[in-house]
Amino acid sequence: MGSIIWSLGAFVVTLGILVTFHEFGHFWVARRCGVKVLTFSVGFGKPIWQRQGRDGTVYQVGVIPLGGYVRMLDERVDSVSENERQVTFNSKTVWQRAAIIAAGPIANFVLAIAVLWLMFVIGVPSVKPIVGTVQENSIAAQAGIQTPAEIIAIDGVETADWQQVNLRFAAALGNDLVEVKTIDDGNRERTYQLQIGAWRLQDNKQPTYAALGLQPFRPEVSLVLSYIAPDSPAAAANLQVGDKIIAFDGTPVVDWPQTRDLIMQAAGQEVRVTLERNGQTVTQQVQLGSREANGQRYGFLGVEPTVAAYPEQYRFTQQYGIVDGLLQGAERTWELMALSVNMLGKLLVGTVSVSNLSGPVAIAEGAGATASYGLVYFLGFLALISVNLGIINLVPLPVLDGGHLAFLAIEGVRGKPVSERVQEVCYRIGGILIFALMAIAISNDILRLSQ
């Protein structure tokens, strides 16, 4: 319950920031163009807070935190007196109206630059993209990638960490080839060509590099126990910190993954665990516990293995000064914008499955998770969602900012606006399409929760 409340709180904060900046973009440019703003609302529905400013604008927070709006004086929907016609939205030129509409998405891009700048100034703890293993029969294995090695560039673009590796592979999705450059411990550079023509991304929980068969370096996990949970089956059987598991129910074990699988397969059973303790062999009878997840029962022992320290030479902090941080923030925002447009196109042609669409539940989970990791990770997540919000709003669908801009473009060419009837039909079609996409995204969220 606590994690749900935390995620919900982080979701409200995230959406509140994004919507406020988006609507402020519309508001700020509208005021600069001489348009009277009647209402500035963050959220929909009945106001839970409301105040009228000296400028005559009503500022409010709606009870439903799933968007917002700026309501401007417009002769097409409002009764306007003669002396107020010059401050109506519809009285402005095509270029002024286009600027007001485009200002919302642009504000999201500016916000992304700002939060990424702050993130880079604070410093982002990172790890180098060291490939530890390559999955058998994977695309990476077929390319012959040798390990251990650091990925230093993908398609000629430098990659400092795993996030950049993930983004570069996502950008290459749909191509026939992707070039990967690595450097090994002996400073030998190698270049590989991965055949990705038939590769399709089906699971958005899995990083792109994992889908290609690349597994990051992980410190060695030994069979020596480093923790015994209180009131667990291990504690009841008198297992101790420092014990080394050497056999499980008569089966010799060689690594932790094998041991973990044997434990999970023996839910609720009494088993013999053979240990090495202070140079002697000890056998303990253990009554394993049982837990249920996704409709299946799994055994648990209540121990943690000893994990070696992560090599310091693989760690680094991405931190820049005020000017360089701003440049890095702008560069990363541009990369995210290009990737978002790229991924939208691949959704349309089927290179990326619609199962990768995420809705409010996934955003809430992401907001809660990154917020729990720390401020810099939350800022990175906020920038990503802000860029996506800006790009999606520029899609030329009626009811979105991009649809309004499309109508204005037609008006600019024709010299007169699109008829109200045509616009109304388009808005209805656009509303249906948006509703369908939201339904798919929410369905994907529900399916992920049930898995």
* φ/ψ of residue 249, rounded to 5: 55, 40
The single residue listed with the structure tokens 């609507």 is 23
Angle at 300 (CA atoms; ends 298, 305), nearest 5 degrees: 130
User: Shortest CA distance to 383 belongs to which of 395, 367, 372?
Assistant: 367
Report residue 176 as tokens: 């026939």
User: Shortest CA distance to 129 belongs to which of 161, 175, 167, 173?
Assistant: 161
CA dihedral sign, ordered 99, 105, 106, 110: positive
Report residue 54 as tokens: 């000296």
User: Shortest CA distance to 118 belongs to which of 110, 126, 107?
Assistant: 110
User: Shortest CA distance to 155 belongs to which of 130, 134, 174, 131?
Assistant: 174
Residue 189 annotated as catalytic? no
Angle formed by the axes of helices 94-122 and 2-32, nearest 10° = 140
User: Shortest CA distance to 92 belongs to which of 38, 24, 39, 32?
Assistant: 32
* 8 A C-beta contact, residue 199 and residue 212: yes
* φ/ψ of residue 23, rounded to 5: -70, -30
User: Shortest CA distance to 162 belongs to which of 172, 151, 170?
Assistant: 151
d(CA 423, CA 238): 74
Q: For residue 289, what are the β-bridge partners?
A: 300
CA 29 to chain centre: 30
Annotated catalytic residues are 23
